[in-house]
Amino acid sequence: MQLQAGLTDRAQVNVELPFITRQHSHIHHHGGENLWESWSFDGLGDVVLGGQYALLLPNSEFAPYVSMLVGVKLPTGLTNLKNAEGEEAEVSIQPGSGSTDGIIGFQYRQTVASVPMISGEYSSLPLEAAVTYQFNGAGTSGWRFGNILLAHAGTSYQFSQRASLLFQVNGRIQDFADPGSTREPRENTGGTWIFASPGLRVEIIEAVSGFAFVQIPVYRNVHGIQQASRYNLQFGLSADVGLLE
């Protein structure tokens, strides 16, 4: 769950409250035997506190908006969950990392055209882009996830009063992790991923909308041996509430 509050025309704050539900299974090769191991657990993840400040506000319909993002991820999530056999899950799949991480980034948004809807009316066609960098600290057992560079560019086409087609290109570059005292293989961490992400947003009722994306990998270069999905599905609900006038 993500909560955002606008403080002024230029500034807003946000907080992310993650709740993680995870199922994980693999075959573990040990002493010539193939052992099936699995975990199924849920719990609170790490809270993220952030802020956004507009460096440039649009002074006309087609003028750009540029803002700066800063944030911190706090070690509030669970880090010691176990499976049914009592074996503690690896640090890398726990709901919380046990680390304090810093986030900085920039966002750009601009209306580039007016396009016709099905009704014959016109809607704005925006172009959005954002880049963030996350500096990860050492967490549980000294494990430190590699720093992460995230970038995305996208647009949305409102083809009716209540529905819009969405499209994004999402990129992720992550450094090697520092295993600390975990003895996990460093060479099997980090990599580069690029996804093409078509989606749909529908206004359910006034000020409440639902959205869905399909992330399709167009480029993937992972280090060593890692799990890699054929595609990702993302769903969400958003609501705008005016608390003060």
pLDDT digits (tens, 9 = 90+) for 157-186: 999 999 999 999 999 999 999 999 988 899
The half-sphere exposure of 33 on its side-chain side, counting CA atoms within 13 A, is 5
Residue 23 binned pLDDT confidence (cut-offs 50, 70, 90)? confident
**By three-state DSSP, how is residue 167 classified?**
strand
For the ranges 19-23, 122-126, 187-191, 201-205, the lowest mean pLDDT is seen at: 19-23
- Backbone torsions φ then ψ of 103, nearest 5 degrees: -130, 135
Of 206, 195, 216, 202, the closest CA to residue 156 belongs to 202
Predicted local confidence at residue 22, as pLDDT: 87
Amino acid, single-letter form, for residue 119: S
Instruction: Decide if pLDDT at 62 tops 70.
Output: yes
Task: Name the helix (H) or strand (E) containing 22.
Answer: strand 19-30
What is the Rg, in whole angstroms, of the alpha carbon atoms belonging to the chain?
21
Q: Mention every residue, 6+ apart, whose C-beta is less than 8 A from residue 59.
A: none
pTM for the model:
0.90
Predicted local confidence at residue 106, as pLDDT: 98
In contact, 182 and 88? CB cutoff 8 Å:
no
Task: Name the helix (H) or strand (E) containing 61.
Answer: none
Query: What's the mean pLDDT in 76-104?
Result: 90
Instruction: Decide if pLDDT at 85 tops 90.
Output: no
Residue 39 binned pLDDT confidence (cut-offs 50, 70, 90)? confident
First to last CA, the chain: 24
Tokens describing residue 140: 């549980």
